[in-house]
Amino acid sequence: MAAALTLLLIGCLLQGALCGKCESIIPNTIEVLKGSCVTIPCSFDVEDQHNVNLDNTCKALWKESTNGPAVFDSSNPQQKGQLIGDLTKKDCTTTLNDMQNNKLYIFRLECFGLKYNFDGVTISVTEQPTLTPPTLKVKEGTSVSLNCSAPAPCLSLPPNLTWSPGLGEGQETLQENQDKTKVKISVLNFNASHLHHGQEISCTAVYRKQDGSTESSVNISLTANITCEYECLVIKLIT
């Protein structure tokens, strides 16, 4: 009987140490350019009785499976990555380097007296910007605003966005999504002219990779369809 009670007590202690009601806030998916880095926005919470365990013994691990080896360990300075957040403040934001394949990465917290596997994030290797609106059909003289957006998964290596042909200089901003991931946006404003009719307008996202090389990604271009009023048709005939 005493042995049974001892085992029951040990089981309860282990359950507390593993933090059965821990939770994390991590994006479900992040798009990243192959060979570049990715900054994973990450925060977590623990039950009140485990706050005392959040000290300088804590380390962050990212694993490809619950029982598999860690691909990143914040306690190992040789790891290809960096813990950006402060675990004692429940911030597990991490930058992982040299992303090559689509994979699920699981976050694990290990402290003295507290170990737990949290939710994971799927890293989707891609390089495709988007252009909105996807079509352009306007009248001569209309003010046009085109938006080009591309994922900015690595805070230290955001993409550069360029427009073709040169209809003006795009205004770039770095915006944060609801899930804390980042996206680079370039807005191109111009007045539609009959000279633009039939032109292909495209946006190119150029990423710098960690080895110093660059890789370009061009979205599906749209073809400008500019309609003319009577005065416009006369000008076209004269010219």
The Cα angle at residue 215 between residues 213 and 218, in degrees rounded to 5: 160
Q: What pLDDT does residue 218 have?
A: 64
Is 79 buried (19+), middle (13-18) or exposed (0-12) by CB count in 10 A?
A: middle
Write down the mean pLDDT value for the chain: 80
pLDDT above 70: residue 167: yes
Domains of the chain by start residue, with CATH: 21-125 (2.60.40.10), 130-238 (2.60.40.10)
- According to DSSP, the β-strands at 114-125 and 29-32 are parallel
CA nearest to 94, candidates 73, 116, 70, 110: 73
Higher model confidence: residue 93 or residue 137? 93
CA nearest to 13, candidates 117, 114, 93: 114
- Secondary element (H or E) of residue 226: strand 222-227
pTM as predicted:
0.70
Higher model confidence: residue 129 or residue 204? 204
Confidence band, pLDDT 50/70/90 cuts, at residue 197: confident
Range of 83-97, 134-148, 166-180, 184-198 with top mean pLDDT: 83-97
Confidence band, pLDDT 50/70/90 cuts, at residue 224: confident
CA nearest to 127, candidates 157, 107, 104: 157
Residues 6+ apart with CB under 8 A from 108: 60, 61, 62, 63, 70, 115, 116, 117, 118
